[in-house]
Structure 1
Amino acid sequence: MKRILQLVVTRWLARTPIGMVLLGLGWLFTRKRRARKQQQPANSPALRRPGRRSGNPYASRGPAAGDRR
């Protein structure tokens, strides 16, 4: 559904010169954001795989933690 909406909006904006400028700016910002996202280190919290422990000793370990009351 999102892709269809993007297609309709893109075609509607491409009809006018101002719309083309807006599409160009959107493309440029999206490109920069994706480039920044790939430069993040692999050990950042956003890119960690599930099941790995956090390096934070104060993080909640869940109900399996035996030292909690």
Structure 2
Amino acid sequence: MKKLLKLVVGRWLARTPLGLVALALGWYLARRRRRREAERTWSAASASPTTPGPEGRPSRAGSQQQYAAKDSR
């Protein structure tokens, strides 16, 4: 029901230039909020106790190996 309501309101707003601006602004704000939530979740997951690397940051040797495997293809 919520998706149907979003569709109807979106189509109604898209009829006018001002409505399109409102839709774009809403889309941008929702995208920014989702990105911040994802970063917050990712940073909480990566806050595990690890030994610092040479730069003083936690070492991410596993992810570097993963990227190296992709580059070698």
TM-score normalized by structure 1? Answer: 0.59
1:59 aligned residue: none
CA distance in 2, matches of 1:2, 1:42: 31
CA distance in 2, matches of 1:11, 1:2: 14
Q: Which amino acid aligns with 1:23?
A: L
CA distance in 1, matches of 2:26, 2:45: 27
Unaligned runs of 5+ in 1: 44-69
1:36 aligned residue: 36
For 1:1-69, list aligned pairs within 5 A: 1-40=1-40, 41-42=44-45
Sequence identity (%): 56
Deviation at 1:42, TM superposition (A): 3.0
Output the aligned Cα RMSD: 1.3
Greater helix percent: which structure?
Answer: 2
Deviation at 1:4, TM superposition (A): 0.2
The runs of at least 4 aligned residues of structure 1 exceeding 4 Å deviation read none
